[in-house]
Amino acid sequence: MSATDRYARRAPTRGVRRAPALGLGLVALCALLALVGFLSVTMGSRSIGLGEVLRALGHVGAGDGSITSTVTLEMRVPRTLLGILVGAALGVAGAILQGVTRNPLADAGILGINAGAAAFVVFAITVLGISGVNAYVWFAFAGAIAALALVYAIASLGREGATPVKLALAGAAVTAGLTSVTSAILMTNVDALNELRFWQVGSLAGRYAPILTGVAPFLLLGLVVSLGLGRAINGLALGEDVARGLGQNVTRTRAAAFALVAVLAGAATAACGPIVFVGLVVPHVARFICGPDYRWILPYSMLLAPVVLLLADVLGRVVVVPDELQVGVVLGLLGAPAFVAIVRYGRLSEV
């Protein structure tokens, strides 16, 4: 039996932990996230004390004109809030994809989301002459949604509909096609290459209040709705036949799940670029903690992912002061060995 089959056939009730203990775990994660958020606001090339942060927050809307107030209110706070929302969105999107596709290696990149966003960004730069993250973030959002819709439409062709295998194959095909087109354009346009390189590295730096307020409604709505999807994903994770036997409309559930992923991963990728490993690794960690029940995996992923993302962002700011490493680079350096450890010691198919 393949790893994917073993992953799909585990019953959501196997090894279920007690709800009170899992609830306390969520409370502890909320406290940890608050601590990491505080570190994100105070640490960097310029350290800011708690008193200075509180004074700056007391002047919200007015500002006291100091450098500390400007750095705190216009840079650190929006960056931290965006990191929390983007991390939560990527964690939940990854968990949904792994459950719906019954593929433990599923994440936003495998279904064309990153490639679609990149293709639309290149279109905006080369054809429309748009530059700057604030300007082309919406094209990245549209591209991510369009690519995922195309993948789902292709996979839905045929009598069996959008099966996990067809979704993975369609995602690989669409990703390869869009990546080839994007690369061909970039080879002949240096300006587009420079703009895309800035966005594609994956970063929270330079993403200020306008981007935060633009994508926050999509992310918040998607996160709230996704928390009610746990029971339905439990059915799909057992297999389509079992889900239908339980009275579930598999097609409608899968379409709703992919719509949520499009909103969550699309908005996150548009705002910060393609951030790797968060949506892939964090759901496995959540599954290890709370078992295979997606009613708990989704909220755990929602809290664990921003903790990981913000810690990586803070680490990137302090290791090469006064410069900084982008969070996408830090996650790539740390995420790869972490995933290898999960595969080697945690046995990926049984996490």
Structural domains present in the chain: 3-102+202-350 (1.10.3470.10)
Confidence (pLDDT) at 11: 44
CB atoms inside a 10 Å sphere around CB 347: 11
Confidence (pLDDT) at 183: 87
- Express as a percent the part of the chain with pLDDT over 70: 85
Task: Report pTM.
Answer: 0.85
Considering only residues 312 and 237, tell me which one the structure prediction assigns the higher pLDDT: 312
Buried b (16+ CB within 10 A) or exposed e, 83-92: bbbbbbbbbb
Q: What is the pLDDT of residues 293-338, one digit of tens each?
A: 999 999 999 999 999 999 999 998 888 777 788 888 888 888 778 7
**Residues 6+ positions from 117 with CB-CB distance below 8 Å:** 140, 141, 143, 144, 147, 266, 269, 270, 274
Three-state SS sequence of the chain = CCHHHHHHHCCCCCCCCCHHHHHHHHHHHHHHHHHHHHHHHHCCCCCCCHHHHHHHHCCCCCCCCCHHHHHHHHHHHHHHHHHHHHHHHHHHHHHHHHHHHCCCCCCHHHHCHHHHHHHHHHHHHHCCCCCCHHHHHHHHHHHHHHHHHHHHHHHHCCCCCCCHHHHHHHHHHHHHHHHHHHHHHHCCCHHHHHHHHHHHCCCCCCCCHHHHHHHHHHHHHHHHHHHHHHHHHHHHHCCHHHHHHCCCCHHHHHHHHHHHHHHHHHHHHHHHCCCCCHHHHHHHHHHHHHCCCHHHHHHHHHHHHHHHHHHHHHHHHHCCCCCCCCHHHHHHHHHHHHHHHHHHHHCHHHC
Confidence (pLDDT) at 14: 44
Confidence (pLDDT) at 34: 94
> How would residue 244 be classed by pLDDT, with cut points 50, 70 and 90?
confident
Q: What is the pLDDT of residues 9-64, one digit of tens each?
A: 444 444 444 788 888 999 999 999 999 999 888 887 666 766 666 676 666 555 55
CA atoms within 13 A on the CB side of 277: 19
Of 68-72, 116-120, 322-326, 332-336, the poorest mean pLDDT is in 68-72
Q: What is the pLDDT of residues 87-107, one digit of tens each?
A: 999 999 999 998 888 878 788
Confidence (pLDDT) at 129: 80
Confidence (pLDDT) at 59: 61
Residue labelled with tokens 């306390």: 24
Confidence (pLDDT) at 65: 58
Of 67-76, 150-159, 241-250, the poorest mean pLDDT is in 67-76
Q: Say yes or no to pLDDT of 272 above 60.
A: yes
Q: Say yes or no to pLDDT of 4 above 70.
A: no
Is residue 85 a contact partner of residue 204, using CB atoms and an 8 Å limit? Answer: no
d(CA 28, CA 303): 10
Confidence (pLDDT) at 241: 77
Confidence (pLDDT) at 32: 96
Residue labelled with tokens 């995602």: 171
Confidence (pLDDT) at 56: 63
Arithmetic mean of pLDDT, 184-201: 78
Q: Say yes or no to pLDDT of 268 above 50.
A: yes
Confidence (pLDDT) at 89: 94
Confidence (pLDDT) at 350: 46
Confidence (pLDDT) at 303: 96
Q: What is the pLDDT of residues 221-236, one digit of tens each?
A: 999 999 998 888 988 8
Arithmetic mean of pLDDT, 274-298: 89
Considering only residues 166 and 1, tell me which one the structure prediction assigns the higher pLDDT: 166
Confidence (pLDDT) at 283: 92
Q: Say yes or no to pLDDT of 239 above 80.
A: no
d(CA 335, CA 342): 10
